[in-house]
Amino acid sequence: MRTELSIVAEPGRLPRIDAVGGLAGRHTGADTVHLIGTAATPLGGDELDIRIVVRPGARLVVRSVAATIALPSTRTPLSVAHWRFEVGAGAELDFDPEPTIVAGGAQHHTVTTVHVAPDARLRLRERVQLGRSGEDGGGWRGDLCADLGEIPLLRHRLALGAATATDDRLSARRALDSELVYPDDRPAWAGSLDDVRLPLAAGGSLATRTSARLHATAPELLGVR
């Protein structure tokens, strides 16, 4: 199944939502949209294409009502999600959905592209957990490409789980909590080798935490905010 979702926020009006497939959006505030699953997706073979645009001067908060579960199909274990974010001049985007759970036997790839204006504000959080309770296997890869105006801001790729270079049955990390923040002038911070926040050369920061299981701790207690 192919899913397409577009959310466009403009000043002085409710965000416009257009959706086809297994994902939709609902207004839950003047500048807030919650993502809602309308069908079982992503299954192996599914492709999701989500575009979120915040026009100049607008503000948008995006959340979700539940976690996303990636499942294998009888045809293929692989599903793909493309996320495209555009944040215009003087605009603000706060994106923090519930985690993506990759079930045992599934492979899920996310490709995220971000274009943010130099005077915009952005918080982009992603959480991933490999395996439901008692499950093993499964894999996830995330590519994040962010530009600040015409300047490259970040090029980042991380893979977890089966068939990755870091896969280890005894101690491999199975969960990720990451957050891209712009602007952010805080210095580098490290809670451990697996829990760090690093400043970006063009401004902003990227914080990542890898672990066996996602933590329920609020983001401001992670050194992220």
Query: Percent of the chain beyond pLDDT 90?
Result: 80
pLDDT digits 0-9 by tens, 117-141 = 999 999 999 999 998 776 677 899 9
**For 137-186, what is each residue's pLDDT tens digit?**
789 999 999 999 999 999 999 999 866 666 666 567 789 999 999 999 99
**pLDDT tens readout for residues 34-52:** 999 999 899 999 999 999 9
Percent of the chain with pLDDT over 70: 89
* Average predicted confidence (pLDDT) for the chain: 91
Q: Which helix (H) or strand (E) holds 142?
A: strand 139-148
Q: Cβ of 17: how many Cβ atoms within 10 Å? A: 16
Task: Give the pLDDT score at 224.
Answer: 43
According to the model, what pLDDT value does residue 167 have?
A: 66
Q: Is the dihedral of CA 115, 200, 171, 99 positive or negative?
A: negative
Structure-token match 């491999």, residue found: 172
Instruction: Give how far the C-alpha of residue 145 lies from the chain's centroid of Cα atoms, to the nearest Å.
Output: 12
Nearest to 68 by CA among 86, 50, 54, 87: 50
